[in-house]
Chains A and B, each alone.
Chain A
C-alpha cells in the first residue's frame, strides 16, 4: 500500500474512533451546540436592541461575527480532546503502532470538523429563528459555509498543538479557551474596529476572525446596518473573502508541521 493511502486509512480509523467517542458521550456535543445557541440569543436580544435604531439589521450583522467566533472556538475542543488522549495513554498506544505519524492529528481535526459542522447547522437554524437570512446567491452561501469550515479546521490545528503543550486535561481546559477571548473579541466580529485604541485597532483589522466574520456577511449577503455602514479602509476589510482564505491557508501551512513535530516528541507524562 502506498504511503498516502495508508495515511488516509489510518486517519480514517482515528476519525471513526473519535466520532464513536462522541456518539457514546453525547454531552461532548453540548459545548459545540448549546454555546452557539446561547450566543445567538444573547447577542440578538441583549446587544441587538442596544445599538443603532435598526435592531433587525444589527441582529443580521451580528450573525457573521457569531459564526466566526463559534468556529474559532473549535480549536479549544481540539485542545481538550488531544490532552485527554495524551492523559489516558491512548496516544502511547498509537505511537507504538506502525501507523502514519500525522494520522492521530488528522483524525482529531477531522472529527472535530464534523462536530463543528453540526454546530454551524444548529446555529444557522437558530439564526433563522431570530430573523437572519441568506440573501445572496446559493453559490456564495456554499462558499461561505466552506470558508467557515476551513477556518474551523485551521483553528483546530492550532488547538491540537496547544493540547500537546498542555499535556493534561486540566491545563488544556484553561489553555484552550483563554487565548480565544482576546482573539475573538479584539476583532470586528461584533463592533467596529474603528472605535478601538491604536494597537488594538491594527490587531483587529488584521485579525483573521474579523476577516472571516466580514467574509461570512458578504457571502451570505447580509447588509451592514446604518451605524456600521462604512467599511474600514484597511486592506483586509476591503478584501475580506480573499484575506480570510489566505489566513486559513497560512495557519495550516504554519501549524500543521509544528503540530506534527510536537506529536512526534510528546510523551504522555
Chain B
C-alpha cells in the first residue's frame, strides 16, 4: 500500500485494542485532513483515550494500522513523536518543577538549545496566562492552571499534529474559552488537531468534523450539521400560561408538525418535530392567536449534539454507559483535579 497522501495528517485503519476481556477499541477508522480539527466525542469508557494513546505511540494496537504525518505509529514511532504534541487526559506536569522549568525541560527534550527552549517557555507561559506563576513549583497551581501548563507542553515544538485528550475538562469558563481560542490559532497556523471531548458544545464549536465513538466503535461521523440532520429537522416548542390551554396547543402542533407533539404538563410546554422550521412556527402562532391562547414563550430548536447522541446510542452523552464498571475512570478523574 502506498503511504497516505500528504493532505491526510492522521489516518487510522481498523484499530483494535483489548485489555483482558475489555474490547477498548473494536475496529476504529478515522482520517483527519491536514489543517483541520477532528473532534472525537464519546462517553466515559468509549475508547477515546485508547485511540489517542495508540496514535501518539504510547500503546501498540493489537491489530490495525495508523499513520500520523505520514509515519506508521508502530514501525516508525520516533518520526511520529517528532511530528506530534500531546496533552494527555491527566495533566502530566512535574509538580516540583516550576511552570517555566516544565516547559523548558520539554523544549530541551524536543532538541531545542538552551536559549530557544527558554524563550519558547516564556512565550507559552504568557500565552496561557501563567506568567505570574511561572517561577512557582507546579504543585502550587490550581487544577486548571496545571491543565493549561500541560496544554502548553504539547505546543512547545509547534508540532504539525496536536493531540489533546479532553483539554477543557476541569477548566473554568474563562479557561475553556482561552483554550478554544488557542486551538483556533493553532489551526490558523496550519496545525492539525485531534481533540477528544465529552462536551457536545465543544465539538460543535471547534471541530470541522466529529467522530462519535461508543464501546470502541465509531458509530457516526460528519460535520456537526450533518449529524444534526441525521436526527431530523427542528423542534418547535411552545409554553403557555394556563394548563387548560395545553390541549389546544397540542392540537395545533399536531397539525403543523411532522410527528406527534409531546406535552410536558409541569412546564406547561408542548413540543413537536417540524420539517419546515420558521414556516411552521408562524403558522402555529397565527392559529393559536385566532384561538386567543396566551403564548408565553416560543422557540425553534435545531437539534443539539446531545439529541444526536441520544438517538445514536440510546443514552445521553453525560450518562455513564450502563455496562461499564466505571470506578476506575471516575477515581482517576477526581484525582487529577
Contact = CB atoms under 8 A, between A and B. Distances in A.
Interface centre among A88, A90, A97, A103 (most CB of B within 10 A): A97
Nearest to A22: B96
Contacts of A21: 94, 96-97
Given A13-B105, A20-B96, A98 B111 contact: yes
Contact of B81 (A10, A16, A89, A96): A96
A92 B88 contact: yes
Nearest to B79: A98
A94 interface: yes
Interface in A1-53: 1, 6, 9-10, 13, 16-17, 20-21, 24-25
B302 interface: no
A94 B81 CA distance: 10
B92 A97 contact: no
Given A24-B137, A95-B58, A267-B53, A6 B96 contact: no
A92 B56 CA distance: 10
B105 A92 contact: no
Contacts of B111: 1, 6, 98
B219 interface: no
Contacts of A93: 86, 88, 92, 106, 153
Given A1-B111, A99-B109, 8 more contacts: A13-B109, A17-B101, A21-B94, A89-B92, A92-B86, A96-B57, A96-B58, A267-B53
A20 B97 contact: yes
Interface string B298-332: 00000000000000000000000000000000000
A89 B88 CA distance: 9
B153 A267 contact: no
B95 A13 contact: no
B205 to A, nearest CB: 26
B12 to A, nearest CB: 17
A2 B130 CA distance: 35
Contacts of A13: 105, 108-109
A96 B96 contact: no
Contacts of B172: none
Interface centre among A10, A16, A98 (most CB of B within 10 A): A98
A94 B101 contact: no
Interface in A56-111: 88-90, 92-99, 103
Contacts of B78: 98
Contacts of B86: 92-93, 96
Contacts of B57: 95-96
A90 B92 contact: yes
Contact of A98 (B59, B81, B90, B96): B81
Nearest to B83: A98
A98 B83 CA distance: 9
B106 A97 contact: yes
Contacts of A6: 111
A199 B142 CA distance: 57
A20 B92 contact: no
A9 B56 CA distance: 23
Nearest to A93: B92
Contacts of A17: 94, 97, 101, 105
B84 A96 contact: yes
A169 to B, nearest CB: 13
Interface string B88-130: 1011101111000100011011110000000000000000000
22 contacts: A1-B111, A6-B111, A13-B109, A17-B101, A17-B105, A20-B97, A21-B94, A21-B97, A88-B95, A89-B88, A89-B91, A89-B92, A90-B92, A92-B58, A92-B88, A93-B88, A93-B92, A96-B56, A96-B58, A97-B81, A98-B82, A103-B109
A102 to B, nearest CB: 13
A97 B110 contact: yes
A212 B109 CA distance: 37
Interface in B48-64: 53, 56-59
Interface centre among A10, A25, A93, A95 (most CB of B within 10 A): A93
A99 B86 CA distance: 14
B162 to A, nearest CB: 12
Nearest to B89: A89
Contacts of B53: 267
